[in-house]
Amino acid sequence: EDRLISEPLGHPDYFNVKELFSLKDLFDARVHLGHKKGCRHRFMEPYIFGCRLGQDIIDLEQTMQHLQLALNFTAHVAYRKGIILFVSRNRQFCHLIESTARACGEYAHTRYWQGGLLTNAHVQFGPGVRLPDLLVFLSSLNNVFEPHVAIRDAAKMNIPTVGVVDTNCNPCLISYPVPGNDDSPAAMELYCKLFRMTIIRAKDKRRQREVFEELQ
Amino acid sequence: LRLIYTTTVVQRRNVAAAGPEKYTEAFIKKQIEEFNLGKRHLANMMGEDPETFTQEDIDKAIAYLFPSGLFDERARPMMKHPTEIFPEKRQIQWGEDGRPFHFLFYTGKQSYYSLMHETYGMLLNVQEYQDQMSAQDLPPEKEKKNLPGSRWLTKMELEEMLLEKLSDHDYSRFIQLLQKMVALPYGSNEEKYMQKFSKEIATQLQKVVIDPLQYDERGVAFSTAEGQRKTARATVVVYDNGSGKITVNGVDALHYFPVLQDREQLMFPFQFLDRIEKHDMICTVSGGGRSSQAGAIRLASAKALKSFVTEKEVEFMRQAGLLTVDPRLRERKKPGQEGARRKFTWKKR
């Protein structure tokens, strides 16, 4: 039982998430495209490679590293049967994200965020509710271009967060920020595909290990 | 060494604030089993056959075994099927390990949002199909069902269906989505899905019933009708091949209605149909005053003339207002006022 949980923590990349994506895939999905330099957030400057004709370009080398860390973390959470909640307030991809969550067997919230969802859960849902163990932000701004309330609430409730931060987002309170484009359909489909594959992979691994342990 | 005391804030279960209990499926099942078992025991006790023991027999048996003098029916002992006693509420939404069953549980309004998700999926399918058809250059139009006999579900009905409270905004968004889907060229692909959310209105087309003409012993065609206005009730018999004579309560119209206005009212239906000196009329009228009696006879004669006339002219009469019952009645006097509307004279001091 303890071996099941503690063994994956020994390896740096137990679920081999590096093979799921390459720099070329990120480039083809237009993940490196940011907003114009006027929308640039001060804290995103370290992640920006440069500025071309007024449009910021995100450094894909750093994105690769951050993405690998983030996917590794989600895989570990899914392996330990944690609840993963996909959050995004981008209306264009709401349906896509909900279908992805459903396919993984995890949860999604791409609608209006009621204030007390995380902080007042026991009153809103009922006593004994289990809060999500990981929040994945596929777009960390809400419809008025302000940081999503869930980032702050998750930080209050000690819930780790993984988030795709664009050049106009604040990466401060997110535990595993992934600098990248959050506005083009290709980029969003890529992220959904990656998260879906990692979660399914982690769950399959868990089931295999359990069967393996039972046989022994 | 100083010991650091740390307190973990435990969410105290405020049972009172939890709200109404949510019944688990297992609980309801158990209740149903207990009910069926109890029913059989009761049947045995009463000496009846357990197989054919209906709900009415149960009620009678309970009333016999536990007589109660309480006035409120709902306070008396009763034995009913658990689905009637425990109202259909949301059962607990998560399993033993704490993971919720529905993938949209954390939104708060899971059934509403899952409905929106599904409907939006259907819309995307329709758009894809449309794109395919236009890529193959097939005609984009299809027969649309323009029947006005259906309406979308009301907010209450939708709430009942989803077992969730909705806001007006949510409801209007859902209806807008459905309407958008209907408006698309191939929207009728998903008719089956949309039928779940539409109801048919029974179209009440009041077909104007035209009675056939009756013939008396002399072979003259006549027709009878009734009419009312305020408190006056009139019965009228209109004869064909006449000379324009009008008899009211055995007296000629000229004597019964000395005022010209009333006689004009009597004449109006015939004048409208250009049949002034072609019909005879015999009426009986009671109640009301002179003006209302005249109005009652007018309505009755117009109704009677329907049988003598083509459908088009009946439609003209209806549009002229000859066939409509005047709904105005005397308004009651209210206390604190002189009359129905008139107030007492206002005195400054």
For B168-222, what is each residue's pLDDT tens digit? Answer: 999 999 999 999 988 888 877 788 888 888 888 776 666 777 888 888 888 888 8
Query: For residue B100, is it within any domain?
Result: no
Nearest chain A Cα distance for residue B41, angstroms: 38
Say if B207 falls within a structural domain.
Answer: no
Q: Are residues B171 and B251 in the same domain?
A: no
Q: How far is the alpha carbon of B50 from chain A, nearest alpha carbon, in Å? A: 42
For residues B247-264, average pLDDT: 92
* Interface touch A126/B100, C-beta < 8 Å: no
Q: Do B71 and B123 reside in the same domain of the chain?
A: no
Q: State how far the Cα of A162 lies from the Cα of A90, in Å rounded to an integer.
A: 16
Quick check: is B345 in a domain?
A: no
Q: Testing the interface with B: which of A111, A114, A124 to mutate, by most B Cβ within 10 A?
A: A111
Is the pLDDT at B18 greater than 50? The verdict is: no
* Residue B270 belongs to some domain of the structure: yes
Substitution target from B102, B107, B119 for chain A, most A beta carbons within 10 A: B107
Torsion sign, CA atoms A68, A74, A78, A79: positive
Q: Are B166 and B122 in a shared domain?
A: yes
A63: closest CA among A163, A137, A168, A152?
A163
Residue B19 is predicted with a pLDDT of 44
Looking at residue A112, what DSSP letter applies?
-
The structure's pTM equals 0.69
User: Which residues in chain A have Cβ-Cβ distances shorter than 8 Å to B117?
Assistant: 95, 98
Long-range contacts of B29-38 (CB under 8 A, 24+ apart): B31/B82, B31/B86, B32/B81, B32/B82, B32/B83, B35/B79, B35/B81, B35/B82, B38/B79
From the list B97, B103, B120, the residue facing A102 with the nearest CB is B103
Nearest CA in chain A to B106: A109
Q: Percentage of chain B surpassing pLDDT 70? A: 88
Residues A136, A74 contacting (CB under 8 angstroms): yes
Predicted complex ipTM: 0.92
Contact (Cβ atoms closer than 8 angstroms) between residue A85 and residue A134: yes
Closest Cα of chain B to A96: distance in Å? 10
All domains of chain A in start order, with CATH: 22-204 (3.40.50.10490)
Residue B248's CATH number: 3.30.230.10
Residue B328 lies in a domain: no
B101 touches chain A (CB under 8 A): no
Tell whether the model's pLDDT for residue A150 goes beyond 90.
yes
B46/B58 Cα distance (integer angstroms): 10
Closest residue in B to A94 (Cα–Cα)? B117
Task: Measure the N-to-C terminal CA separation of chain B; round to a whole number of Å.
Answer: 88
Clarify whether residues B229 and B279 are in a common domain.
yes
Residues forming beta bridges with residue A109, ordered by sequence position: A87
CB contact under 8 A, A130 and B94: yes
What pLDDT, in 10s, does the model give residues A155-195?
999 999 999 999 999 999 999 999 999 999 999 999 999 99
Indicate if B232 and B315 belong to the same structural domain.
Answer: yes
On whether both B117 and B190 belong to a single domain, the answer is yes
Interface of A with B (CB under 8 A): 81, 83, 85, 95, 98-99, 101-102, 105-109, 111, 114, 117, 122-130, 132
What's the one-letter identity of residue B297?
I
Say yes or no to pLDDT of B8 above 60. no
Evaluate if residue B156 carries a pLDDT over 80.
Answer: yes
Is residue B349 a part of any domain in this protein? no
Check whether residue B171 and residue B239 sit in a common domain.
Answer: no
Residue B111 in contact with residue B162, Cβ under 8 Å? Answer: yes
Q: Are residues B315 and B219 in the same domain?
A: yes
Chain B residue with the nearest C-alpha to that of A110: B107
What is the per-residue pLDDT for B22? 58
Closest approach of B195 to chain A, Cα-based (Å): 23
Give residue B15's pLDDT. 46
Q: Which of A62, A67, A55 is nearest to A195 (CA)?
A: A67
Out of A81, A83, A126, name the one closest to residue B22 (CB): A126
b/e per residue A164-183 (b: at least 16 CB within 10 A): bbbbbbbbebbbbbbbbbbb
In a domain, B302, yes or no: yes
Same domain, residue pair B135 and B220? no
Domain identity same for B193 and B220: no
Residue B341 within any structural domain of the chain: no
Of the listed ranges A83-87, A141-145, B18-22, the least confidently predicted one is B18-22
For residues A102 and A110, the answer to whether their CB atoms sit within 8 Å is no
Q: A98 and B104 in contact by Cβ < 8 A?
A: yes
B315/B228 same-domain check: yes
Read off the tokens for A23. Answer: 């720099």
**B306 and B272 in one domain?**
yes
* Mean pLDDT lowest among A44-58, B133-147, B244-258: B133-147
Helix (H) or strand (E) holding A2: helix A2-10
Answer yes or no: do B19 and A126 touch at CB < 8 A: yes
- Helix intervals (H) in chain B: 25-46, 55-65, 82-85, 110-135, 155-162, 168-183, 191-195, 253-256, 260-272, 290-305, 311-320
The distance of A57 to chain B (nearest Cα, Å) reads 32
Question: What is the span of the domain harbouring residue B81?
Answer: 25-85
More confident residue, A126 or B65: B65
pLDDT of residue B205: 63
Encoding tokens for residue A145? 């271009």
Is residue B254 less than 8 Å (CB to CB) from chain A? no
Gap between the Cα atoms of B109 and A113, Å rounded: 11
Instruction: Using CA coordinates, name the residue in chain A closest to B21.
Output: A126
Per-residue pLDDT at A179? 95
Residue A126 zone, left/alpha/beta (φ > 0; ψ -120 to 50; rest): left
Number of domains in chain B: 3
